[in-house]
Amino acid sequence: MAAAVRTAPGPRGPGAPVLVADAVGKRFGGVQAVDGISLTMAPGERIGVIGPNGAGKTTLFKLLAGDELPTAGTVELFGQDVTRVGTARRARLGLGRTFQVSNLFRDMTVLDNVRVAARGGTPRARVFWRPQRPKDEISQRALASLESVGLSRRAQDTVADLSHGEQRQLEIAMALVTEPEILLLDEPAAGLSAVERSTLRRLIEELPRTLPILLIEHDMSLALGLTDRVMCMENGRHVVTGTPQEVRDNETVKAIYLGRRDKK
Amino acid sequence: MTRDRKVGLGAMALLLLALASYPYLGTSGYQVSIASTVLIAAILASTVNFLAADGGMASLGHGAIAGAAAYGAGWASLQGHSMATQIALAMVVGILVTTVYGVLSMRTNGIYFLMVTLALGMVVFGLAYRLSSVTRGENGITGIERPEVLAEPWAFYLFLVGCFAVTTAALWVVSRSPFGATLRGIRDSESRMRSLGYYVPAYKLGAFMISGTIASLAGLLAVWHTHFVSPSATELGRSVLLIVMVLLGGLGTTLGPLVGAAIVILVENVVSNSVERWPTVLGLIFILTILFARAGLVGSAAKVLRRRRRGTDAGEPDTAEPAGLTTTTTIP
Amino acid sequence: APASSEDPTEPPAETAGASDDETGDEAPAQAEGTLKVGYISPITGNFAVAGQEMVDGWNLYWEINGNEVNGVTVETIVEDDAGNPEISLTKARKLVESDQVDVVVGPLLANTALAVAEYTSSVGVPNLHPVAAADDLTQRAANDFTVRSGSMSGSQANYPGGVWAADQGHETAVTLCPDYAFGWESCAGFKQGFEQNGGEVTAQFWYPNGTSDFSTYVSQLQSAGADIAYVATAGGAPGPDFMRSFLGLGLKDTQPLLMNCCSMDQATLRAMGTEVLGIHSVSNWAEGRDAPEVAEFNAAYAERYDGKIPSLNVAGGYVTASQVAQVLAENGLVTGDELVAAISATTFEDSILGKTVFDEYNNPVSPVYIREVQEVDGQLLNVPIETFDAVDQWLGMDPEEAMARPNYSQQFQG
Amino acid sequence: MTLEVSDLHVGYATAAVLHGVDLTVGDGQSVALLGRNGMGKTTLVRSICGLRPPTVARGSIVFGGEDITRKAPFQISRVGIALVPQGRRVFGSLTTTENLTVVPRRRAASAGEPWTVERVFEFFPRLADRSKQMARSLSGGEQQMLAIGRALMTNPRLLIMDEPSEGLAPAILDIIQDRLAELRSSGLSILLAEQNVDLALDIAEHVVIIDDTGRSTWTGTAAQLRADTSPLEQYLGI
Amino acid sequence: MFEPVFLAQQALNGLSFGALLFLLASGLTLVFGLQRIVNLAHGAFYMLGGYIGLVIATLTGNLLLAVVVAMIAVGVTAFVVEVGLLRFVRGQEMPEVLLTIGVMFVVADLCLAIFGGDPKTLPAAASIQGAMSIGGLIYPWYRIFVIGVAVVIGIALALVQTKTRVGAIVRAGVDDRETISAMGVNIGWVFTGMFVVGGALAALSGTIGSGVISVRPGIQNEVLMYALVVIILGGLGSIKGAAVGAVLIGLIDAFAKAWIPELAYFTIFAPMALVLVFRPSGLFGRAT
Ligand SMILES: Nc1ncnc2c1ncn2[C@@H]1O[C@H](COP(=O)(O)OP(=O)(O)OP(=O)(O)O)[C@@H](O)[C@H]1O
Ligand SMILES: Nc1ncnc2c1ncn2[C@@H]1O[C@H](COP(=O)(O)OP(=O)(O)OP(=O)(O)O)[C@@H](O)[C@H]1O
Ligand SMILES: [Mg+2]
Ligand SMILES: [Mg+2]
């Protein structure tokens, strides 16, 4: 599978943390978007990140995924220092992710989107001497992934023809098909309707328990319902970390973040 | 095999048959020679087409790549080297130039890519002009022969038909391969591709090399056709016309380059015999094509056919239909 | 097809002599038929004016004199090559293979001319060059089918300019020429003429083709501070563009200047007007020469083309036509290498370019004029102020010696 | 001014989507448009705003007695309809403030007092802190606030919002709910396409549900739905 | 080669050539840089404007009148092209390319048919005569005038872009044409207006430029290429970038021609290629 061709990750004993962010910070000109956040993910751990709009969640996410380089602190992935390492390399180490704003291949079909994701820079993607085959393993995996998010009936449509919510579903399918060893999700449920949300919920629940997940969500039933541990941020800083219940009951979190519907 | 695919293959076979029988239809040597020019231009245009449609990289430097290859052959012939050496040198020089282009342009995108290739094309043109000890300056190199077996114009023409068929098929396969899908992914979103673990520049470079290699071949064929190469072969205007050919025929279509090349070459060489204001004619053809067949002649025809078959009566005339749409994948 | 496999450096003398004898007797007998002429010239694109003028000159002759000479009808097919050698070649092929012309005239530009000459000689069709200047056309690449009918080689036409400059007492000179074969040849001609007569060229500047802003070069000319500056262009815009910068810096009164043929042709005079009065140039054509044939030609041209004054390009086309006509008149219909040989063997006493004969390499030996822009009857003309008669292309060397040297370049100026 | 959509049939070049939608938004009313992903909410909203594609095949859209079915988007905006588009679509290369000032402001017949940059910043204090920042670099939620503020700046009579809750933190939703209530009392009508049913029912008094037949299958009040949730179960799968 | 007068003169040569480059790029900066319409007919507009301006200048000897007439004439042409042709393919890059190439072919060829192929330069009567003289330094007033015009146009463009709502609307329209129209802006006409202004600027530079480089067949390609180089080097859409790029190229060109003449041919393109290799979005361009 995809994992087989990945370059060997660094030292990785059982129980060693898969992802460590040590006092990372990111400054954009006058804005300190992320300010000294430390985070350790154990194998199989599922962490939620919440916080008001503009708290720095996505920026933190980008620091972990490699889209942005931190202005302070270090990031370690599977025991390897990746602070200055590019996105592609982190992906090859096994990091899978979604985008907060759908980032799809608009002029390609839905199926091709997922196929390209499934090949993820492996030697299969370099095959140029014969056409893509409709029944090969990659296509099967791609279809299965579409099925799991409920998009298989649109496999042959062009992405530009999809509704917003359908594009969000595709976004998730593309992250999952890479069979990542650590999964970062940035507001995966945004734009999804109720049914699709419960599908998503089931999907995440059914992922192997060994897969560590970092989840940013404003939907509290997901952010608090799917995770082992939740971190709340505000203005780039850490506010509180704890079990979902602890965070929900925290007075600061209630004041700065939770709405009437969630405080109930 | 889908019906579309069958129809396409059938049409292709018919076309090749027609092309191959052309010299036997009582055509004059001159007509065969014009047809040869069209085929060579079509091969070159199809490399531009591939890169622009699948890779999103519109190049203004392919004329110069082909020109460089032609100079490779020319120089070798000037030095009295054997035919094999001439061929080898043409390809080596062409591929070398391609590599330089590729490496320098990989970090750029869209219009910036266009400009880097333009600048490099101008450098090649400048070298062709200035490095006269090698290139004989603007007088160019004459008397470059083609292999004995191809000496007859019709033989060379048939050889060109073969080359056209092979290169077109090759590009067709590449475009539908996993690599082609990867390229389209890069075209649509480089950041997504990176986060999927693709080393984007490597793939872009790969595409550029494929396209540049075939362009080099076209350069060699061109010099075999005219027995002559001069800086004008590497001129920017030629590269611009290549893009024009591609758009006229239809970006991303298999036969578009041939149709586009035929129109441009015929206007330049044949219509100009009788119409003094032929540049105006050419310009009007471009304008009318865009107004009435936005996706290019082949592209729009294919779209009309497809729609007719499907029998849909869509309300809106097709608006921005992006390049990638015309390259379809097979349905499992 | 008959191929010309002679070594191009070998003078094609015998052939020329032989056909001379034959055609002499045969003339009256062959006095019927058609001479089909394929005329290639850039009528569109960047060289459109020069190309059109070259065609106009040719047509003018036949319009005045009728296109039937001695029972032979001259039929012309004009093809546009837009200044592109590839198209030029395709058109040549079309003319020869499809239209089966007896002779190809043109094209205009040196590089297109060399390409076409190579092709036509390989298929045994004569090729007449009314304007193209490339030295090699009648030197290293000379052959029995190619004749430079209306122009001179680049070094030949400018050599007398150097001689004249030295005669004027200038001791140092600086040159500015386009950086390609035509420029190298022109500059080499001037330089050799100047230095063989005691002058010294102290600096040579080369501008790339496509230069439009000459100010930096003019500044360099100025700072070089030589007694005279020699400037060449291949015609078109560089002439006026150079003059704009030159005049703008107020150098007209302080820096003596000699231009080549094409930088001071009528196109430049039309563009610049009286600003260029008094500027000197060197060329094998002088529209202001006081001779009846020139006056007649000027008048005929002016009548047909809105009072325009003919340039070297028009003259080249016209001269070529007149040569063909004279040969047909004297010999009846001649084709193939015989046509070239016949032209080459004829003395053209009253050519508008001055008395012209040809050397063994089919290159004209004719006058070169030092000209000055003067206003004559309200018209700006290049009026000859000194004439060098019977200038040949060897710059005082013998042919073998000349052709054994390398081609001219920035590095080798002779 | 009332928006009346009747028997609307709308489709794209590739497929027809809506097959007969009826919908009315009365003066000062607030209507929620519900439906699962891909049922055609955005298609309907775009049709009302005159955006192409899709194309209207049949039916009519009337606002304040004026037929706006085939008008151009800017004309429709000028009669007083403002759009918060799905996916925010802020002008990335403009600053926050420029995003607000770039839109033309209607003076006539506006609901309540006219909007100013200051008033938007009061509405969303978060934006005030980011006033000089390029909109492209705002966080997702900040962009959503900006999109709402931008629509308000046109001083609309009818505010159409396509999933405004997307990406907004729960506490902000409360604020929006409260403020929209205030605005309605000053005469602003609201059409809200939403996935967040709780929020939709809190904001809107009338509800229209579109299902996979492409029709407005269910029309009623929010109170009705609260009392009997079976339509929600049936059409939205809750 | 290093005397102060020579250096000063070369610096002025470079500056004035840079000013000319900026002028001939100015229209394209608007249309292509801000509006992202790949207007390959820009050079042809320059050419047409130059010819018309020259005809008027020759007839009247009045440079201002020539400029105004040329701007109006080309503005009208640009209007026709925009409304009659470009409007149908708005936002679609490739069709725009082909369409504007077509327009370029037609306009340039018709110019050849109408105005003939002679190179034409601004007649002395309409030009600014004489030369400035400071110490040993002599420099033509006309070229100083060109620098002045470029500065004025540059400042005006920068002001329009940053200080007026039109600038913001255009940028918004480029970001998201559909949304700005849903906000009540008739973006179609705004873009048409910009295109017309771009054409008029091309005509202005064509007329004024004809006092430095002659108008002639082929000038359309040369101008287009220079203009593209300038705005790409500077970074798309950045007026400041175009100005810096133009001056940079002008100076490099002037001094390279004097000091490293072998490279004279490459001085225009080499800086751009180098900059793009190291800064793929140009000097002042924002990475996309
Ligand atoms: N490139 C940038 N330049 C300047 N400021 C930035 C940039 N990117 C982000 N910011 C600012 O940093 C802060 C954090 O942004 P971020 O996107 O991380 O927020 P978030 O927590 O994901 O918010 P949301 O929940 O709304 O998505 C925001 O205030 C944003 O405006
Ligand atoms: N540009 C388009 N071209 C073709 N089909 C489209 C286009 N946009 C949307 N569609 C299709 O039209 C249908 C309705 O889409 P629409 O965006 O209106 O749904 P929606 O109800 O807004 O969904 P969501 O909640 O996901 O935003 C979908 O099936 C979608 O695939
Ligand atoms: Mg975020
Ligand atoms: Mg929607």
Query: Token digits for E217?
Result: 């067949």
Report long-range pairs for B93-96 (Cβ below 8 Å, ≥24 apart).
Answer: B93/B68, B93/B69, B93/B216, B94/B65, B94/B66, B94/B68, B94/B69, B94/B212, B94/B213, B94/B215, B94/B216, B94/B217, B94/B219, B94/B220, B95/B209, B95/B212, B95/B213, B95/B216, B96/B68
Domain count, chain D: 1
Residue-averaged pLDDT of chain D? 91
Give the structural domain span for A206.
Answer: 17-94+180-258
Tell me, what CATH number does A189's domain have?
Answer: 3.40.50.300
Asked if the structure places residue A121 within a domain, the reply is yes
CA distance C21 to C224: 56
Write the pLDDT tens digit of every residue in B28-62. 778 888 999 999 999 999 999 999 999 999 999 99
Three-state secondary-structure class, residue B86: helix
Q: What is the pLDDT of residue E276?
A: 81
Query: Token digits for E249?
Result: 């190229």
- Give the single-character DSSP code of A157: S
Write the pLDDT tens digit of every residue in B303-320. 888 877 765 443 333 333
Asked if the structure places residue B330 within a domain, the reply is no
Asked if the structure places residue A8 within a domain, the reply is no
Give the structural domain span for D59.
Answer: 3-236
Q: What is the pLDDT of residue B107?
A: 84
Is the bond leading into C364 cis (omega within 30 degrees of zero)? no
Q: Is the CA virtual torsion E222, E224, E228, E231 positive or negative?
A: positive
CA distance C148 to C135: 10
Over residues B79-91, the mean pLDDT reads 94
Query: Do A111 and A89 belong to one domain?
Result: no
Write the pLDDT tens digit of every residue in D106-152. 875 555 788 999 999 998 999 999 999 999 999 999 999 999 999 99
Q: Return the higher-pLDDT residue of C30 and A203.
A: A203
Q: What is the pLDDT of residue A12?
A: 55
Q: What is the pLDDT of residue B232?
A: 87
Whether A53 lines ligand 1, by a CB cut-off of 6 Å, is yes
Give the structural domain span for B39.
Answer: 3-18+29-312
Asked whether the predicted pLDDT for residue C11 surpasses 60, the reply is no
Q: Which residue has the tokens 């002042």?
A: E284
Give the ligand 2 atom nearest the CA of A157: 31
- Give the single-character DSSP code of D160: E
CA distance B82 to B60: 32
Asked if the structure places residue B274 within a domain, the reply is yes
* Other beta carbons less than 10 A from residue A8's beta carbon: 8
Give D80 Cα–ligand 4 centroid separation in angstroms: 22
Residue-averaged pLDDT of chain A? 90
Residue C5 pLDDT level (bands cut at 50, 70, 90): very low
Query: Do A87 and A206 belong to one domain?
Result: yes
CA distance E65 to A262: 72
Residue-averaged pLDDT of chain B? 87
- Are E276 and B248 in contact (CB < 8 Å)? no
Q: Which residues of E touch B285 (CB under 8 A)?
A: 102
Write the pLDDT tens digit of every residue in B204-245. 999 999 999 999 999 999 999 988 898 888 988 899 999 999
Q: What is the pLDDT of residue B22?
A: 85
CA distance A103 to E145: 50
pLDDT below 50 — which residues of chain E?
Answer: 288
Asked if the structure places residue A10 within a domain, the reply is no
Residue A250 pLDDT level (bands cut at 50, 70, 90): very high
A165 CA: distance to closest CA in chain D (Å): 5
Write the pLDDT tens digit of every residue in D72-117. 999 999 999 999 999 999 999 899 999 999 999 887 555 578 899 9
Which of A179, A197, A227 finishes a domain? A179
Do residues E25 and E226 touch, judged by C-beta distance below 8 A? yes
Residue D60 pLDDT level (bands cut at 50, 70, 90): very high
Nearest Cα to Cα of residue B39 among B258, B317, B240: B258
Query: Do A108 and A135 belong to one domain?
Result: yes
Asked if the structure places residue A22 within a domain, the reply is yes
CA distance B275 to B284: 13
Q: What is the pLDDT of residue B9?
A: 83
Burial C82-106 (b: 16+ CB within 10 A, else e): bbbbbbbbbbbbbbbbbbebbbbbb
Give the ligand 1 atom nearest the CA of D126: 29
Phi, then psi, of D162 in degrees rounded to 5: -100, 105
Do residues C162 and C172 touch, judged by C-beta distance below 8 A? no
Q: What is the pLDDT of residue B310?
A: 66
Weakest-pLDDT range from B98-107, B292-301, C17-26, D106-115: C17-26
Q: Which residues of C touch E246 (CB under 8 A)?
A: none
Asked if the structure places residue A9 within a domain, the reply is no
Phi, then psi, of E254 in degrees rounded to 5: -65, -45
Give the ligand 2 atom nearest the CA of A163: 17
Q: What is the pLDDT of residue E161?
A: 80
Nearest CA to ligand 2 atom 1: A161
- Express as a percent the part of chain C with pLDDT over 70: 92
Tell me, what CATH number does D54's domain have?
Answer: 3.40.50.300
Asked if the structure places residue B257 within a domain, the reply is yes
The DSSP element (H or E) to which B21 belongs, if any, is helix B3-21
Residue A264 pLDDT level (bands cut at 50, 70, 90): low
* Other beta carbons less than 10 A from residue E20's beta carbon: 27
- Calculate ∠ Cα E225-E226-E229, nearest 5°: 85
With an 8 Å CB cutoff and a minimum of 3 pairs, decide whether chains B and E touch: yes
For ligand 2, mutation pick of D18, D37, D43, D83 (most atoms within 8 Å of CB): D43
Asked whether the predicted pLDDT for residue C20 surpasses 70, the reply is no
The residue ranges of every structural domain in chain E are 22-220
Over residues B163-174, the mean pLDDT reads 95
Within 8 A by CB and 6+ apart from E206, the residues are E24, E45, E46, E47, E48, E49, E50, E51, E53, E70, E74, E215, E223
Asked if the structure places residue A53 within a domain, the reply is yes
Asked if the structure places residue B324 within a domain, the reply is no
Asked if the structure places residue A123 within a domain, the reply is yes
Phi, then psi, of D134 in degrees rounded to 5: -60, 135
For ligand 2, mutation pick of D10, D23, D39, D45 (most atoms within 8 Å of CB): D39
Phi, then psi, of E117 in degrees rounded to 5: -100, 0
Which of A179, A209, A228 finishes a domain? A179
Chains that touch B (3 or more CB pairs under 8 A): A, C, D, E
Q: What is the pLDDT of residue D109?
A: 55
Q: What is the pTM of this model?
A: 0.90
Q: What is the pLDDT of residue C2?
A: 37
Tell me, what CATH number does B148's domain have?
Answer: 1.10.3470
Q: What is the pLDDT of residue E116?
A: 86
Domain count, chain A: 2
CA distance C353 to C261: 13
Whether D142 lines ligand 1, by a CB cut-off of 6 Å, is yes
Q: Which residues pair with C104 in a beta bridge?
A: C38, C127
For residue A13, the one-letter residue type is: G
